[in-house]
């Protein structure tokens, strides 16, 4: 692995974005069924875990810097640079996550005053800005293997898969709500993750097809990856397939939803580590 810090930052931040959206949806949905106190107590620890994951991702990103003392300069060119926008939106998004984790359980997420009413919208907007900035930072004309909308889709869709499964995994231990509400929420998140796995598989296939049919440099990069990393590609797809099966189990069998989403999250995360490593290798290893 040539870029472990970038792999950690991108995957942890994307997981945090998707998880934050999923958790706000679950909290608002649960409030309508069982009240804000139960919903807040159930989702509160999950928000804290999501904020911790985002903070860990930001910390990992600093390891990629040559001169860490100049890290503050990363946000000084936000008007022109997608990289600066990525860093700035990541910091602001972390602030929104911390505020969400600190929100008292008794506050109604939609009807409460002040930050209780604004936080879901702010988290959604800042998460979208972070994903957009992150994907655009890799849309480089000088890197044919990355200069594709399918490359961006394959880069962003993990937010849906890892986010839903990460949120479900952090919620599955909670007992602050009824078993019926818990099972329904976990099933909804598993269903969303299952759809994300399908979309991601399609995006990966279309990305590779686009590379093979693209410019000479992109075609050479694709052939190097397909021929030289065939085992890793196969492992990635097998892990995604196994995660999909575990998601289906969680959807169809409420009694097994907790262990199933944990297994799905572990397999999807390992698949994404492999995929993100190959994503960087196809450029950095190929000299494009």
State phi, psi for 173 to the nearest 5 degrees.
-85, -15
State how far the alpha carbon of 211 is from the alpha carbons of 215, 219, 228, 238, in Å: 7, 5, 16, 22
On whether the CB atoms of residues 111 and 40 are closer than 8 A, the answer is no
State phi, psi for 175 to the nearest 5 degrees.
-130, 25
Average pLDDT in the 56-77 region? 64
Residue 285: pLDDT band (50, 70, 90) is: very low
pLDDT at 116: 55
Comparing 89-98, 161-170, 272-281, the range with the smallest average pLDDT is 272-281
Comparing 170-179, 184-193, 233-242, the range with the smallest average pLDDT is 170-179
**Category of 35 on φ-ψ map: left (φ > 0), alpha (ψ -120 to 50) or beta:** left
DSSP-derived secondary structure for 239-272: HHHHHHHHHHHHHH-GGGHHHHHHHHHHHHHHHH
Output the six-digit token pair for 237.
């797809």
Output the six-digit token pair for 133.
């900035």
State how far the alpha carbon of 239 is from the alpha carbons of 163, 199, 249, 272, in Å: 17, 15, 15, 9
**Per-residue pLDDT at 65 exceeds 70:** no
CATH code for the domain of 67: 1.20.1630.10
* Helix 216-228 / helix 257-284 crossing angle, nearest 10 deg: 130
Average pLDDT in the 255-273 region? 91
Q: How far apart are CA 217 and CA 18, in angstroms?
A: 33
Output the six-digit token pair for 87.
């860093």
Torsion, Cα of 89, 94, 95, 96 (10° steps): 90
Residues in the chain: 288
**Per-residue pLDDT at 154 exceeds 80:** no
Please state, as a whole number, how many other Cβ atoms lie within 10 Å of the Cβ of residue 158: 24
Residue 209: pLDDT band (50, 70, 90) is: confident
DSSP state letter for 139? -
Domain that holds residue 210: 4-284
State phi, psi for 184 to the nearest 5 degrees.
-65, -45
pLDDT at 1: 42
pLDDT at 130: 93
Output the six-digit token pair for 248.
């289906």
**Per-residue pLDDT at 191 exceeds 90:** yes
pLDDT at 13: 95
Confidence (pTM): 0.86
pLDDT at 129: 93
pLDDT at 70: 47
**Per-residue pLDDT at 226 exceeds 70:** no
Question: Total structural domains in the chain?
Answer: 1
86-137 pLDDT, tens digit per residue, is: 888 999 999 999 998 988 887 777 655 545 568 888 999 999 999 988 888 7
């Amino acid at each position: 692995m040539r870029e472990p810090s970038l792999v950690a930052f991108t995957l942890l931040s994307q997981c945090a974005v998707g998880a934050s959206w999923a958790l706000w949806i679950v909290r608002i949905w649960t409030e309508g069924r069982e009240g804000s106190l139960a919903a807040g107590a159930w989702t509160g620890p999950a928000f804290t875990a999501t904020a911790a994951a985002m903070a860990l991702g930001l910390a990992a990103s600093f390891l990629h810097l040559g001169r860490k003392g100049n890290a503050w300069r990363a946000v000084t060119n936000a008007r022109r640079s997608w990289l600066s926008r990525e860093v700035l939106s990541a910091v602001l998004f972390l602030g929104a996550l911390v505020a969400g984790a600190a929100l008292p359980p008794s506050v109604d997420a939609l009807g409460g005053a002040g930050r209780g009413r604004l936080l879901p919208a702010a988290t959604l907007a800042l998460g979208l800005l972070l994903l957009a900035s992150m994907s655009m930072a890799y849309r480089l004309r000088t890197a044919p293997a990355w200069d594709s909308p399918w490359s961006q889709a394959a880069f962003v869709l993990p937010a849906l898969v890892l986010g839903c499964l990460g949120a479900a995994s952090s919620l599955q231990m909670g007992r602050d709500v009824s078993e019926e509400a818990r099972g329904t929420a976990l099933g909804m998140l598993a269903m969303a993750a299952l759809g994300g796995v399908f979309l991601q598989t399609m995006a990966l296939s279309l990305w590779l097809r686009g590379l093979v049919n693209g410019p000479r440099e992109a075609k050479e990069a694709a052939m190097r990856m397909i021929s030289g990393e065939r085992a890793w590609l196969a492992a990635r797809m097998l892990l995604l397939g196994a995660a999909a099966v575990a998601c289906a189990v969680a959807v169809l069998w409420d009694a097994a939803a907790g262990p199933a989403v944990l297994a799905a999250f572990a397999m999807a995360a390992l698949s994404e580590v492999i995929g993100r490593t190959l994503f960087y290798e196809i450029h950095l290893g190929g000299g494009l």
